[in-house]
Every structure is written in structure tokens, then in C-alpha cells.
Amino acid sequence: MLGDNIRIVRTARKMSINKLSKLTGISLGYLSDLENNKAKNPTMDKINKIAEILCVPVGLLLGNESVIDDIANEYGKRLEAYDKPTLQNGKVRYVHREMTDIERKELAKEFLNENPDLFFDLPENTRNRILERERNAIKKPTTIAAHIPDGVELTEEDMKQINDFIQFIISKKQK
């Protein structure tokens, strides 16, 4: 849940709820409601602000699949081997074994869903890379359509024109 995620990450950053309230400009009462999952519909502006102050990807707080995936990829690389519980002769034994890449990622995802603060275990440059990737993903347009004559597929030249236009719009937005 969003509220739990905010609380876990905030505690991991050793920040009091008072301080977070001051830094984000969101009232203490509202933040408390948010952390206790009482405030159900916070605006994206507020969530963005909180994520920015806590230095985590917004998607991590929101449980956004693609962002969790991205972090799990990085985090999974750090999971070398683990003790897998297996049933032998009716008894549970822990067998030490190597994991495949997919298993690593799945396990990392499981961990992350429960403990979003694991994000801070990553080295700083990796964290920044993930934050950067999220920012770029938000910039990418969501709805896009081209007018081409029937039955004709987009050529490389067309794609270039489309990307030019997207860049043009982004530069307009930033001004």
C-alpha cells in the first residue's frame, strides 16, 4: 500500500513525519492520514513531492510494475545464492543453491514489495540511474498516432519525423 511504502521509506531515511511535512509543504495531518492509508486519493503532485524529498522513484511508492521491475533487476544482481527450503523425507531442509537470473529477479521483486527501503541498499550511482530512467519514461508521450495513407507502413524517415516532433513538444513544455 502507498501509505505503508511512504512510512517504510521515510523511516529508512531516518526522517520524522514532522520533517517530511516541513520539507514537502504537506500538512502533518494529511501526511499522517496518507501513511495510515486513510487518505485514499492524494494528487500526483503530492506523491511526486514526497518521492522527490525521500529520493525514491515515484513508481516505487506507487508499486508501479515497470519501476519495481527496473529496481528488481538491479537488486537481483546482488542476490548471489540463497537457502531454498525444500521438503526431504517429510522434513524441511534448507538447500544452498545458485539462482537463475529470473529467480533472482522474482525474489528481488518479492522483497521489494514488502520492503521498499531496500532501494537504499543499492549504490548511489545505480539509484540515480534508476531515478533518471523513471524521469525519462514519464517524458515519453503516452498517446501518439500518425496519419499515413491506408496500408502503408511507417518508414525510418517517418519515425525520424515523429521523434523530431516529440522532441519539439518536450522543448516547448520545458520553456
Partner 1 sequence: MLYEKLLIEANNEKINVYERDIGKLKGLYVDGNIALNLSIETYSEKACVLAEELGHYHTTVGDILDLSKAENRKQERRARGWAYEKLVSLTSLIEASKQGIRNRYELAEYLGVSEKFIEDAIKYYKDKHGLYYELGKYIIYFEPLGVLEKL
Give the nearer residue to partner 1 in terms of CB position, either 21 or 64.
Answer: 64
Give the other-Cβ count within 10 Å of 87's Cβ: 8
Q: Provide, rounded to whole angstroms, the least separation between the CB of residue 172 and partner 1.
A: 8
Rounded to whole angstroms, the Cα distance separating 106 from 128 reads 22
Position 158 contacts partner 1 (CB under 8 A): yes
Give the other-Cβ count within 10 Å of 48's Cβ: 14
Q: Provide, rounded to whole angstroms, the least separation between the CB of residue 134 and partner 1.
A: 18
Q: Provide, rounded to whole angstroms, the least separation between the CB of residue 135 and partner 1.
A: 16
Stretch in the footprint of partner 1 (CB under 8 A) among 2-10, 28-36, 49-57, 152-160: 152-160
DSSP type of residue 56: S
Draw the binding track, 120-149, toward partner 1 (x: CB under 8 A; -: no contact): ---------------------xxxxxxxxx
Q: Provide, rounded to whole angstroms, the least separation between the CB of residue 136 and partner 1.
A: 15
Q: Hunting for cell 531496500 — which residue is that?
A: 118
State the Cα torsion 104-108-109-115 to the nearest 10°. Answer: 170
Rounded to whole angstroms, the Cα distance separating 73 from 83 reads 20
CA-closest candidate to residue 63, choices 112, 102, 103, 111 = 112
- Report the length, in residues, of the chain: 175
Distances in whole angstroms, Cα of residue 104 to Cα of each of 109, 118, 169: 9, 15, 39
Q: Provide, rounded to whole angstroms, the least separation between the CB of residue 66 and partner 1.
A: 14
Stretch in the footprint of partner 1 (CB under 8 A) among 20-28, 66-74, 87-95, 164-172: 164-172
**Which of 41, 153, 174, 175 contacts partner 1 by CB under 8 A?**
153
Binding site residues, partner 1, CB under 8 A: 141-149, 153-155, 157-158, 160-162, 164-166, 168-169, 172
